[in-house]
Amino acid sequence: MLGLESESWQTYKRLIIQVIPHWKIFALSVVSMFLLASTEWVLPALLKPIIDSDFDLSAPDKLMLIPILLVCLFLFRGLLSYSATVALNWVAQRVIYDIRTKMFDVLIRLPVTYFDKRSSGVLISKFTFDVTQVADAATKVVTVLVKDFTVVIVLLGYLTFLNWRLAIMLLVFGPIIAIVIKSVSKRMRLMSHRLQESVGELNNSVSESIRGQREIKLFNSYYYEQGRFSHAANQARKFQMKVIRTSAMIVPVIQLIVASAVAVLIAIALREQAVSGMTKGDFVAFFTATALLLPPIKRLAGVNEFLQRGIAAAESVFILLDTPTEIDTSAKTIRFEGAIEFSNVYLTYDDKEVLFDISMSVRPGETWAIVGRSGAGKTSIVNLLPRFYSPTKGTIHVDGKDLSSYSLECVRHNMSYVSQNIVLFNDTIYNNIAYGSQTAFSPDQIATAAERAQVSIFADLLPDGLDTIVGDNGVRLSGGQRQRIAIARAFLKDAPILIMDEATAALDNKSERLVQTALRSLKSGRTTFIVAHRLSTIVEADQIMVVDSGRVSGIGTHDEMLSDNTLYSQLYSAGFN
C-alpha cells in the first residue's frame, strides 16, 4: 500500500525514528487503535443471530441482550478512539517540536555562505509548512496503516470464517489496488516537492514586502509587489490543486475496483452452490462485513497523499539537518593581544575571486582604515577576521597563531563588529545592549556601556528609558540611535579587536558627531579596522590600506598615501562621501 521506492523508504524510516523518544505514548495510541480495529467484526456478528431467528419473540431475553451489547461495544470503542486520537496527536506535536528545535539548532550554526545563497522565505517555510507535513507522515499515516489495515485483516478473517470461497475472491483484487497506488506515488511526491518550493516563494514574497514596506511606498511599487505575490500565490494554488487532483483520482478508482469485487461476489453468491451451508444471518453478516471494508480501504488509498507529502517534506527537512555546520576546533577561550597578520590571502566566492594576495601586519592597539571604491573588497577583508568566510589561499595569524587554530567561540569572543546595517531585536534597549550576555554583566555595567556609547542621551528622554521597546529591527529609533546601541554592545563586550564596517556612512552630521565621540572612546586600546568613506574616520588611522578590485593598492599613513597613492588622492579629493 505504501508504494515507496528504496530511497523514499530510507527517508521514511529515518522519519519514524523521530517517534522513538516518545514510544510509550505512541505505543498507547497504537494499542488503542489495534483494539479499536479488532472490534470491527462484532457489529455484523451481533446482527447474525437476529436475522437467523427471524426476529423470533419467543426468546426475548436472548435477543434483548444484543442491544445492551451494542451499547457496550460503542462505549468501549469510544474510549479506545479517544485514547488513540489524543495520544497520537500528542506524539505528533512533540515530533513537530523536536524537529523544529533540531532544525533551529542547526540553522543558527550554519556558515554565512549558506544564508548568502538562500532566501529567508524558503527557510521559514521549512519550519512552518514542511514540518507539519512531516508530522502527518510520521503519525497520521501510522494511524491509518495500523487501524485500517487491522480492520481489513480482521474483517477478511471474519469473512473467511463465514465463507472462505467468497473471501478468496476479494483477495484477487489486492494486487490491482497495489499497482494503482504505486503508479501515482511518484507523481504525488514530485508535485509535493514543487508545492513546498512554491510555498517557500510565497513566504519569501511576504517577508520581503514586510521588510521593504518603506521602499514599496517610496517607489510606488504596489502593483509590482502585488504581481509578485499573485504569481507566487497562484503557483502554490496550482501545485496544491495538482496534489489534490492526483489524490482525488486514486480514491474513486480504488473504490470502483472494490465495488467491482463486491459486485462479482454478489453475482457468485446468488448461485446456490456458492452459498450452500450459509444461513440468512451468515449471508447478511458476510455482506455487512464486506460493506465495512470500503471505508478503511478508502482511507488506506487516501493515506498515500499524506505519505508522499511527508516524504517530500522530510527530504527537505533532512537536507537542512544534514547541512554541515561551522566546525569548531576546541572549546578553549583566551583573550587576544590583537596582533594580526595577513599573508598572501586570496578569497574565492561563488567561483569568482574577490581578493588577491592581501598582505598586512597589524600591531596590537593600532587602527587601520581600509578604503577603496564600492565593490573593491573592503568588507570581504574584514569578514575574514571573525571567520564568516575562510581564505581560499594564504593565512591569517592572530598573536602569532593561525586564525583557524582557534575555536570559533574564541575568535568571535575576541571581536566586536559594528556595521552600517545594525540588527536590533524587538525587545528593550537594555536587552539589545546586553544581547547574548544578559547573565554575564550587572545592570550597572550595562547602564555604563549605554552612557559611554551616548545611548543615555536619548534613552533618558523616553518614558521607559532603557526598558523602551525598540520595535522590529529598531524601527522606533533613528539611525544614529540604533548605531549607538550597537556601539554600546561593543563597549559591554570589551573585545580586544574592533571591526567597524561603514559604521557612520548613513548618518547625518549631528548623529555622526555623537557616534564618532562614542567610537573614539571605544577604539582606545583596541586593534581596530575601519571600513569607511568618511574622511573624519580615516585620517586619524595609524595606517591606511587602499584596496582596488580585490588587490592592495597601497599601505601607509594619511600623508604618505596622499602623496604616493593616486587612487587615495582621487578618493580624498572627492571627499570620499
Task: Say how many domains are in the chain.
Answer: 3
- Run of H or E including 65: helix 60-107
Task: Tell me the CATH number at 52.
Answer: 1.20.1560.10
Q: Is-contact 504 516, C-beta < 8 A? A: yes
In a shared domain, residues 452 and 428: yes
Would residue 331 count as lying in a domain?
A: no
In a shared domain, residues 189 and 172: yes
b/e sequence 482-516, b meaning 16+ C-beta within 10 Å: bbbbbbbbbbbbebbbbbbbbbbbebeeebbebbb
Would residue 514 count as lying in a domain?
A: no
In a shared domain, residues 104 and 184: yes
Q: Which residue has the higher pLDDT, 422 or 301?
A: 422
Tell me the CA distances in angstroms from 544 to 358, 557, 575, one per residue in order. Answer: 14, 6, 15
Give the CB-side neighbour count of residue 239, counting CA atoms within 13 A: 22
Order of strands across the sheet that contains 352-362? 352-362, 340-349, 393-398, 401-402
Instruction: Read off the pLDDT of residues 280-289 as tens digits, 9 standing for 90 and up.
Output: 777 777 777 7
Instruction: Quickly state the pLDDT bin for 174 (edges 50, 70, 90).
Output: low
Task: Tell me the CATH number at 563.
Answer: 3.40.50.300
Instruction: Quickly state the pLDDT bin for 341 (edges 50, 70, 90).
Output: very high
Would residue 169 count as lying in a domain?
A: yes
Instruction: Read off the pLDDT of residues 189-222 as tens digits, 9 standing for 90 and up.
Output: 677 778 777 877 887 777 777 666 666 765 677 7
In a shared domain, residues 408 and 437: no
SS (H, E, C) 256-299: HHHHHHHHHHHHHHCCHHHCCCCCHHHHHHHHHHHHHHHHHHHH
Would residue 35 count as lying in a domain?
A: yes
Instruction: Read off the pLDDT of residues 103-113 as tens digits, 9 standing for 90 and up.
Output: 898 888 888 88
Range of the domain at 566: 339-414+496-506+525-577
In a shared domain, residues 464 and 564: no
In a shared domain, residues 443 and 355: no
Would residue 16 count as lying in a domain?
A: yes
Order of strands across the sheet that contains 527-531? 415-419, 497-501, 527-531, 367-371, 543-548, 551-556
Would residue 76 count as lying in a domain?
A: yes
Last residue of a domain, one of 294, 321, 348: 321
Q: Is-contact 470 429, C-beta < 8 A? A: yes
Q: What percent of the chain has pLDDT over 70?
A: 85
Quickly list H helices, 270-395: 280-321, 378-383
Last residue of a domain, one of 455, 471, 494: 494
Q: What is the pLDDT of residue 211?
A: 67
pLDDT higher than 80, residue 29:
yes
CA-based end-to-end distance of the chain? 68
Total-model pTM: 0.76
Would residue 134 count as lying in a domain?
A: yes
pLDDT higher than 60, residue 572:
yes
Look-up of cell digits 512533540: 94
b/e sequence 132-161, b meaning 16+ C-beta within 10 Å: ebbbbbbbbbbbbbbbbbbbbebbbebbee
Average pLDDT over residues 25-42: 84
In a shared domain, residues 283 and 224: yes
Tell me the CA distances in angstroms from 59 to 42, 54, 68, one per residue in order. Answer: 21, 11, 16
In a shared domain, residues 451 and 359: no
Tell me what the pLDDT averaged over the chain comes to.
Answer: 81
Amino acid at 363: R
Instruction: Read off the pLDDT of residues 55-72 as tens digits, 9 standing for 90 and up.
Output: 555 555 556 677 777 788
